[in-house]
Chain A
Amino acid sequence: MPRLTLREAISEALREEMQRDPNVFIMGEEVGEWGGTYAVTKGFLEEFGERRVRDTPISEMVIAGAATGAAMAGLRPVAEFMTINFAFVAFDAIVNHAAKVSHMFNGEIKAPVVFRAPGGGGKQLGATHSHTPDVIFAHFPGLKVVSPATPYDAKGLMKAAIRDDAPVMFIEPVPLYTSPRVRDDVPDGDYIVPIGVSDIKREGRDVTIVTYGEGLHTALDAANQLAKEGIEAEIIDLRSLQPLDLSKALASFKKTFKCVVVEFGHGTYGIGAEVAAQLQEKGFDYLDAPIKRVAQAQAPAPYAGALEKSALPNAEKVIAAVKEIL
C-alpha cells in the first residue's frame, strides 16, 4: 500500500470521486490554474478541464451560495475556501442556507455540497488567518462537520462527504498536510470511512484522551512519553464533530474513570466543554476526577513564533493535565 501524506490522500479521494461521478466538480479560489493554494488540486485542471475545476473570484458568499444552489439542482459540488478563516465571510450561506434547506423545506430540497476548509494555526499568520473555529460550525443542526487526523481517514471521509446527501464542512488541518510523521498506508481505490463514527487510535487503561485533527498527534506524543512512566492512555479520535459520536469515549471513560480533552481551538464553549458535559451526564458514577481540557489559549493568535506556540496545545500540556488527575 502506498504511504501518503494527508494532503496526498485528500487529493486522491477528490480525483477518484471526480472519475467516478461526473456530477462532482470543484470550485473555489485558485483551485485551477494555480493548482490549489495548498496544492491539493494540482493537476486537476489539466485532467478534468475548466468545466469541472472552476476558478472563482474572491467571493466567498457566492462560492458557498452557488455551490449550495448547484447541489440543490442535483450536482455534487466541492467548494473550497482557501482557508477556513474566509468561511466566516460565507457564514450565512453555510449555516442559514446549506444547513437549513432540508429541514426548512421539509425534505423537499437537499444540498449535498462539500465545503473544504483548510484550518489550524501555528504558522505565524496572525490573528485573522490562524483560527481553529471548527466548533462553531458543529453548533448548527443540518451541517455535518468532519476533520480527519490521518491520511487513511482523510481519504475515506472525503469520499463519504462527497456521497453524503447532507452538506459537509470538511476541515483539513493544514499543519498535518505534508507532515512526514502523519504519513499513512492508504489503500488504492475505493473505500469509505463513515461520517459520525469515532475511532480508538490507541488503547490504554489509565486515562482517556478525547481529541481529533491535529490534537490526535499531540495526544499520541503525550501518550508515548507517559507510557515510559507506565501510564497507558487510551486515545479516541472523534473524526466527526457533527454528528458527534461519544460512544467510544464514554465506554473508555467507564474503564479509566478519567478524561482529558485535547483541541486546537479555543477552550471556552469548545469541544472539550461539550465532551465533558456529556460524559458527566451519561457517566457521572464513573467520574473519579475533573475532566480536563487542553486547548488554545483564550487570546487571538499572535504573529511572533514563540508567542503563538505558547498559546497552542502541546504534549507537555497534555502530560501535565493527565498527571493532575491521576
Chain B
Amino acid sequence: MEKATLLEWYRQMVLIRRFEERCDELYQLEGKIKGFLHLYIGQEAVAVGSIGARESGDHVITAYRDHGHALTVGSDPGRVLAELMGKATGVTGGRGGSMHLVDTERTFWGGYGIVGAHLSLAVGLALAEDYKGTDRVCLVYFGDGSTNIGYYHESLNLAKVWNLPVIFILENNKYGMGTSVERASAETDLLKKGMAYNMPGRRVDGMNVIEVYEATTAAIDAARKGEGPQFLEMQTYRYEGHSIGDRTRYRPQGELDQWRDEKDPIATLQAVLLNDYDVTEDELLAIQNEVMAEVDAAAKFADESPDPALDSLYDHIYPGVIGEVN
C-alpha cells in the first residue's frame, strides 16, 4: 500500500471518530442534536477501507448509522453536522437528519432508517447500471439485524437472479439494537446467510482497514467483470450504544474493552504506519490536530447556520415543485 493512501485513511478514520465524539457532546451536553443519533465509533475501518476501494461513479448506500459513510465519500463535515442540528445549511436542509444524509454528487444515495429497505434500493441502483451497460457497481452496507428481515432475502435473491453488480457489505457488529445475533438469527454464521443466495462471500476483519480494502477491491473487480453480486461479512464492533440513551446493558462485561484494547481500527493502522512505514508520532499528531480543527470549524459553521425557513415545509414533496400542491 502507498504510504499516502494509508495516511489518508488514517485521517478519515480519525475524522469520523472525532466527529462522532463531538456529536455525542452536542447531543448529551449541549442539547443541540435531537432525535435519533447512531454513532459509528469502532466501525470506522469498514466505511473507510471499502469506500476507498471504489471508483468514482460507483454507488454507495447505507442504513441509519451513516455519518461515517458520508464523511468518507467526502461530504463536507460542516454541512453534515448542520444536518444533525437541523439547520438550513445541512445536506438535506434539515429535512432528513442523522439517519438520512445524502450526497448524490458523490453517488452517495443516502442513509435509510427502515432496516433492510435500502437493500432493495441498492438492487435498483445496480439494475440501472446494468441496464445502461456501464461497469459501475453498488456498495450497500447493512447490519446483522437486517439479515432477519424480508427485504434482505428478497434483495439478495433478485440481485443474484438478475446477476447485478451489488457488493453486499454486512457490518456485523454483533447486535441488532440490543439483541445479539445468537438471540435473533437461526443461522449465527452470517456469511452462510449471504452465500445461501449462491454468491461468493468472504469473512473479513472489519477492524483492519487494509484487509477491508483488499477484500472489497476483489469483490468490486468480480462484480465489475459481470460476475454478479458479492457478499462481504465485516466483523466489527460498535463501541457506543445503538443510539444515544442506550446503556448497553446487554453486552457481556469486558467485551467492549477487549475489542477496543486489542482491535481498535485506528490503533491498528497507527501501529502499521509507525512500524512499517517510518511515520513518526509527530506526523500522526499533526493529522489529529488538523482533524480537530476541521471538526471545530464544522461545529462552528453548523451552530451559526440558520434554521430552515418555515415556508419551505411543502417544497420538494413532488420533484421540482416549490410550495403546496393542493
Assess whether A72 is interfacial by the CB under 8 Å rule.
yes
Among the 9-residue stretches A55-63, A178-186, A201-209, A249-257, the one with 4 or more Cβ atoms under 8 Å from chain B is A55-63
Number of A-B contacts (CB under 8 A): 140
Assess whether B109 is interfacial by the CB under 8 Å rule.
yes
The 8 Å CB contact of A59, one of B96, B131, B158, B318, is B158
- Smallest CB gap from B313: residue in A: A103
Among the 9-residue stretches A10-18, A36-44, A106-114, A314-322, the one with 4 or more Cβ atoms under 8 Å from chain B is A106-114
- Smallest CB gap from B130: residue in A: A51
Q: Is the CB of A65 within 8 A of B155?
A: yes
Q: Is the CB of B326 within 8 A of A73?
A: no
Q: Is the CB of A69 within 8 A of B121?
A: yes
For the complex formed, measure the closest distance between the CB of A107 and the CB atoms of chain B, giving whole angstroms. Answer: 4
Q: In the bound complex, how far is the Cα of B326 from the Cα of A196, in angstroms?
A: 9
User: Provided the pairs A61-B154, A72-B124 are in contact, do residues A103 and B104 lie with their beta carbons within 8 angstroms?
Assistant: no
Q: Is the CB of B123 within 8 A of A69?
A: yes
Q: Is the CB of A66 within 8 A of B127?
A: yes
Assess whether A309 is interfacial by the CB under 8 Å rule.
no
The 8 Å CB contact of B150, one of A61, A70, A71, is A61
The 8 Å CB contact of B120, one of A66, A106, A107, A142, is A66
Q: In the bound complex, how far is the Cα of B100 from the Cα of A96, in angstroms?
A: 12
The 8 Å CB contact of B317, one of A64, A102, A244, is A102
Assess whether A21 is interfacial by the CB under 8 Å rule.
no
Assess whether A74 is interfacial by the CB under 8 Å rule.
yes
- Smallest CB gap from A25: residue in B: B131
The 0/1 profile, CB within 8 Å of B marked 1, for residues 65-101 of chain A is: 1111111111101000000000000001100110001
For the complex formed, measure the closest distance between the CB of A238 and the CB atoms of chain B, giving whole angstroms. Answer: 12
Q: Is the CB of B158 within 8 A of A72?
A: no
Q: In the bound complex, how far is the Cα of B114 from the Cα of A108, in angstroms?
A: 20
For B125, what are the chain A residues with a Cβ–Cβ distance below 8 Å? 69-70, 72-73
- Smallest CB gap from B102: residue in A: A105
The 8 Å CB contact of B124, one of A51, A66, A165, is A66
Q: Is the CB of A104 within 8 A of B96?
A: yes
Q: Is the CB of B120 within 8 A of A68?
A: yes
The 0/1 profile, CB within 8 Å of A marked 1, for residues 1-24 of chain B is: 000000000000000000000000
Which B131-188 residues have a C-beta within 8 angstroms of A? 131-132, 150-151, 154-155, 157-158, 161-162
Q: Is the CB of A75 within 8 A of B128?
A: yes
For B110, what are the chain A residues with a Cβ–Cβ distance below 8 Å? 101, 105, 109
- Smallest CB gap from A110: residue in B: B319
User: Provided the pairs A69-B123, A73-B124, A73-B125 are in contact, do residues A61 and B317 lie with their beta carbons within 8 angstroms?
Assistant: no
Assess whether A290 is interfacial by the CB under 8 Å rule.
no
Assess whether B122 is interfacial by the CB under 8 Å rule.
yes
Assess whether A116 is interfacial by the CB under 8 Å rule.
no
- Smallest CB gap from A243: residue in B: B326
For B102, what are the chain A residues with a Cβ–Cβ distance below 8 Å? 105, 108-109
Q: Is the CB of B117 within 8 A of A96?
A: yes
Q: In the bound complex, how far is the Cα of B161 from the Cα of A64, in angstroms?
A: 16
Assess whether A266 is interfacial by the CB under 8 Å rule.
no
The 8 Å CB contact of A69, one of B93, B127, B161, is B127
User: Provided the pairs A57-B161, A92-B117 are in contact, do residues A106 and B93 lie with their beta carbons within 8 angstroms?
Assistant: yes
**Among the interface residues B93, B112, B114, B326, which one has the most CB atoms of the partner chain A within 10 A?**
B326
Which B98-112 residues have a C-beta within 8 angstroms of A? 100, 102, 104, 109-110, 112
Q: Is the CB of A142 within 8 A of B92?
A: no
Q: Is the CB of A59 within 8 A of B157?
A: yes
Assess whether A283 is interfacial by the CB under 8 Å rule.
no
Assess whether A26 is interfacial by the CB under 8 Å rule.
no
For the complex formed, measure the closest distance between the CB of A297 and the CB atoms of chain B, giving whole angstroms. Answer: 30
Q: In the bound complex, how far is the Cα of B315 from the Cα of A109, in angstroms?
A: 13
The 0/1 profile, CB within 8 Å of A marked 1, for residues 53-75 of chain B is: 00000010000000000000000
Q: Is the CB of A107 within 8 A of B123?
A: no
Assess whether B251 is interfacial by the CB under 8 Å rule.
no
Assess whether A166 is interfacial by the CB under 8 Å rule.
yes
- Smallest CB gap from A141: residue in B: B317
Assess whether B303 is interfacial by the CB under 8 Å rule.
no
User: Provided the pairs A61-B150, A68-B124, A142-B318 are in contact, do residues A73 and B117 lie with their beta carbons within 8 angstroms?
Assistant: no
Q: In the bound complex, how far is the Cα of B190 from the Cα of A75, in angstroms?
A: 33
Q: In the bound complex, how far is the Cα of B121 from the Cα of A51, in angstroms?
A: 19
Q: Is the CB of A73 within 8 A of B319?
A: no
Assess whether B192 is interfacial by the CB under 8 Å rule.
no
Q: Is the CB of A59 within 8 A of B123?
A: no
Which 4 pairs between the two chains have the least Cβ-Cβ distance?
A69-B124, A65-B120, A73-B128, A69-B121
What are 18 contact pairs spanning A and B, CB under 8 A? A57-B154, A61-B150, A62-B157, A65-B124, A66-B120, A66-B123, A68-B124, A73-B59, A73-B129, A74-B128, A77-B124, A96-B114, A104-B95, A106-B95, A107-B316, A109-B109, A110-B319, A144-B318
Residues of B bordering A, CB below 8 Å: 59, 92-93, 95-96, 100, 102, 104, 109-110, 112, 114, 117, 119-129, 131-132, 150-151, 154-155, 157-158, 161-162, 315-320, 325-326
